[in-house]
Structure 1
């Protein structure tokens, strides 16, 4: 009979070592090795049960469209690429308390109301706790089954008994396989449980959603292999002190990874936001120095956001620079351009930049709005009312073109803005036929003269 052996496994990357070390040889992290007992190898079939096929010529494979199941959430369908693909495995991550379980419980109720059977397996809450939360958000459909279980083998038996169309496991760090000696949440358990759920989803054609915990760095806990195994990886994020939540796709085998969904957290659960631009600008104060409206693009959706800047005299030798929602490096670059090309003496001032509403935008198309908001606060003069600013700022002070300009302008026109300052290069050979006035600018100085 084969003996068990002790090994040390890194909890960050899954690297295996025969002896303990302070630093992982695979990822370089410190104090991540955990001792595990390696069970003797057993004969195991890795092939899929059922059909056995050999190599095929790709032109001979019949083409067929994947039938997608709508979730009842238009925003959720947008992120998934048009709906849920049967047999897919989707991983959803996010900070604790952000609303992952609430989102999945509402989703379960919605698809159950469309005639589908849903099995919700929770390793973190009891059945009574699930019932209390389900009653609060009114998710009590008769086609929704719940099970409080951490033993994956027993959970698989429940799946074979219920035969659901949708399976939800909350969370992958709490379930375990008794055949493995490592603790729940370890690299070996997470890898093996995810592999078992992947085979279950593909063999029985069950759309499966698993919840993953995140580390303090914001990355999904467990081995990086976890993200490679699943079909889609979604991040549910947002500031806990804001009511808005954003669902982003960072991997999607069945759709785009540039889409996002915006929800608002209420007492009754999550509610879709139909017009996020109007929502983000609803509390904007008019004719206030340091405030500018920009048009960002997230996937195929244009968003109008308010950029707020505050420039104040510094009490220390080194001025402070802070940014919330915008890329800190881009903000520093824009401020350096304002100092060098426009002559603004910002080296003795603290500067704070914020995207109102808790949104996070990394695209450079908001550079022009950031630059004008900082200049407006520095001069203590409000920008022209009814303006929207679009453009990337270069190191020489030029305003560079951005993608999908017409979509951004249409969103600004829909919300009643009167002028739109855009890169001059984007207007060459193109004219916008609408009521909003589109003005091309070549430099930040030219844009500032028009805005003030």
Structure 2
């Protein structure tokens, strides 16, 4: 019997150490090392060695056209870069219950209806439960292959026997290899299962999607351990109680990582939101101070979204600062700019800044919108409801040019906005004709004069 060996893994990046460390030397995270006991058992003697491959010249490598499989879901195809690449390994991560399994089951339905062979491997649900959920999202014109198994070796054997074009592993935390004594869901098990799935995806030219759960506590074997191994990493954002979900590409070897997909959770599954700007502005208040509309660019798609700010005198010795959907430190920085460069006395006020719709944005182009929302609430003066704002703000109060200004203006004009407050540099470099009233500003003081 092999002797058990104690090792320590970083739950954030998977770095291995022979002893416990306070800070991970790889990702610099604190208190993320967990202890695991490992012992590898040999079954049936030594494994047969594979035939060794010899190096080859790059000129000998033939490049075929990149074959992509359309999923039938436009928002998912946008994030993937045009569809599923054959032979790729993709990870779909997110909080439990956010809709990962529902989305992949809808993809399976579309691929099965397109006469493609699909295998759905589940370690969390029985075949009866999967069929109940499948009947809620729509009809399957052909049969979907189900395999309820958690042993890696059995799953690989089933894949080689069936030879599907598309495989879903739900979820990676429930799968384990019998060759490792570590528990299912541990770092070593998750890495071994992912490595074997990557090998079979490349060898058999099968597109594989694996589901990984992420918790707010950052539990062991989270998908962050796997990001370096897979080809594509997709994350679901949003609260389980909210209706809207954001699918964001964090890593993509076959496309852009800036694209997002917007979905709405309905009774019959996830529904695409083809016009997120219209959805985000639905129910916007009229003639309310502290409410502005900004234009942010996510990949190639401009999104119009409402920023709300509430500034009120504090009842405490230290004023409160709260930011939802926006970087907290960025809000503090912009409030300091308003105090220093414009003279607004915000030191004795509580500040609450919220991004409506449940989204998270980090683009600097929304800086000017945050500035004007705070100033509007502080002065209790509403901005005209047909005004759109974008621009980056620096520490000395200057308003800097942002990219794709023409595209942002076209999207705002299409949704009926009449006035745009934007950096003066963007007005000077405008290449399109527009009927909108453009107010170019060079600094924060000029922008506040527009209120």
Q: Secondary structure at the match of 1:228?
A: coil
Tell me, yes or no, if the aligned pair for 1:7 and 1:16 is still in contact at 8 Å. no
User: 1:235 deviation in Å?
Assistant: 0.4
Tell me, yes or no, if the aligned pair for 2:389 and 2:421 is still in contact at 8 Å. yes
Residue of structure 1 equivalent to 2:36: 34
User: 1:11 deviation in Å?
Assistant: 5.4
Q: Secondary structure at the match of 2:350?
A: strand
Residue of structure 2 equivalent to 1:258: 258
Pairwise mapping of residues 63-82 of structure 1 onto structure 2 (< 5 A)? 63-82=63-82
Residue of structure 1 equivalent to 2:243: 243
Tell me, yes or no, if the aligned pair for 1:7 and 1:38 is still in contact at 8 Å. no
Residue of structure 2 equivalent to 1:211: 211
Q: Secondary structure at the match of 2:64?
A: coil
Matched, 1:195 2:206: no
Q: Normalising by the residue count of structure 2, what TM-score does the alignment of the two structures yield? A: 0.93
Residue of structure 2 equivalent to 1:448: 448
Q: Secondary structure at the match of 2:184?
A: coil
Matched, 1:135 2:135: yes
User: 1:305 deviation in Å?
Assistant: 0.3
* Partner Cα separation in structure 2 for residue 444 and residue 102 of structure 1: 46
Runs of 5+ consecutive residues of structure 1 not aligned to the other structure: none
The 1:17–1:360 alpha-carbon spacing in structure 2 relative to 1, beyond 3 Å, is closer
Tell me, yes or no, if the aligned pair for 2:113 and 2:140 is still in contact at 8 Å. no
Q: Deviations over 1:371-411 (max 9, x none)?
A: 11111111111012311001011111111111111111111
Q: Secondary structure at the match of 1:191?
A: helix
Q: Deviations over 1:186-227 (max 9, x none)?
A: 111111111111111111111000001113256883485521
The 1:348–1:23 alpha-carbon spacing in structure 2 relative to 1, beyond 3 Å, is closer
User: 1:147 deviation in Å?
Assistant: 1.7
CA RMSD of aligned residues (A): 2.2
Residue of structure 2 equivalent to 1:422: 422
Pairwise mapping of residues 47-196 of structure 1 onto structure 2 (< 5 A)? 54-196=54-196
The 1:225–1:291 alpha-carbon spacing in structure 2 relative to 1, beyond 3 Å, is closer
Larger mean CA deviation between 359-368 and 225-234 belongs to 225-234
Tell me, yes or no, if the aligned pair for 2:38 and 2:180 is still in contact at 8 Å. no
Q: Deviations over 1:412-445 (max 9, x none)?
A: 0110000111101122243530222222111112
* Partner Cα separation in structure 2 for residue 204 and residue 239 of structure 1: 37
Q: Normalising by the residue count of structure 1, what TM-score does the alignment of the two structures yield? A: 0.93
The 1:444–1:71 alpha-carbon spacing in structure 2 relative to 1, beyond 3 Å, is same
The 1:395–1:249 alpha-carbon spacing in structure 2 relative to 1, beyond 3 Å, is same
Larger mean CA deviation between 83-92 and 23-32 belongs to 23-32
Residue of structure 1 equivalent to 2:369: 369
Runs of 5+ consecutive residues of structure 2 not aligned to the other structure: none
The 1:161–1:329 alpha-carbon spacing in structure 2 relative to 1, beyond 3 Å, is same
* Partner Cα separation in structure 1 for residue 449 and residue 421 of structure 2: 11
Q: Secondary structure at the match of 1:227?
A: coil
